[in-house]
Amino acid sequence: MDYYIKVNNTPVPVTEEVYKAYCHGARKERYFRESDIRNQTFFYDALDTEELNGSDMFCDLSAESVEAAAEKHILLEKLKGSIADLNDEERHLICRLYVYGDSLRQLSRTSNIPVTTLHARHQRVLKKLKFFLEN
């Protein structure tokens, strides 16, 4: 018995093994297509045009881009390293101001250090962090 597969509407003779593999693949493809119809599955590829990719129509415009997220991650890692390079007193000042949300006045009251001194130290630490981050 001769086996043929149509390629561009032209019958091409093949072996029995190739014919069975082709039919099996064609049946599997038809099964998935029927399953998609039965389950009412919709593919974004159906909306593709020459100018637009169908899946791009449903992107979340408010979501942060991958590039921005990667850049933010790199800067945060650099900031962690820079804060680790500070001495204990400087780290404590930054922690109280930015982690716990204390004001300079509150910190002045609890530590008995004048506000102007804390302000000067704060500015010095920020300059130091800026230097670490830029280099």
Q: What is the pLDDT of residue 40?
A: 86
- Spans of all domains in the chain: 3-58, 66-134
The DSSP code for 46 is G
* Residue 115: pLDDT over 90: yes
Paired strand residues for 11:
6
**At CA 15, angle to CA 10 and CA 20, rounded to 5?**
90
Looking at per-residue confidence, does 70 or 48 come out higher?
70
pTM: 0.53
Tokens encoding 98: 């930015």
In angstroms, the CA 103 to CA 93 distance is 10
Q: Is the pLDDT of residue 7 over 80?
A: yes
**Alpha helices, H only, 1-135:** 16-38, 66-84, 88-94, 104-111, 115-134
Q: Cβ neighbours of residue 15 under 8 Å, at least 6 residues apart?
A: 3
Class of domain 66-134: mainly alpha
Q: What is the mean pLDDT of residues 73-90?
A: 93
User: If phi over 0 gives left and psi between -120 and 50 gives alpha, with beta otherwise, what is residue 88?
Assistant: alpha
CB-based burial, 94-126: b 16+ in 10 Å, e otherwise: bebbeeeebebeebbeeeeeeeeebeeebeebe
Mean pLDDT throughout 95-112? 93
As given in the structure block, the two tokens for residue 18 are: 């190739």
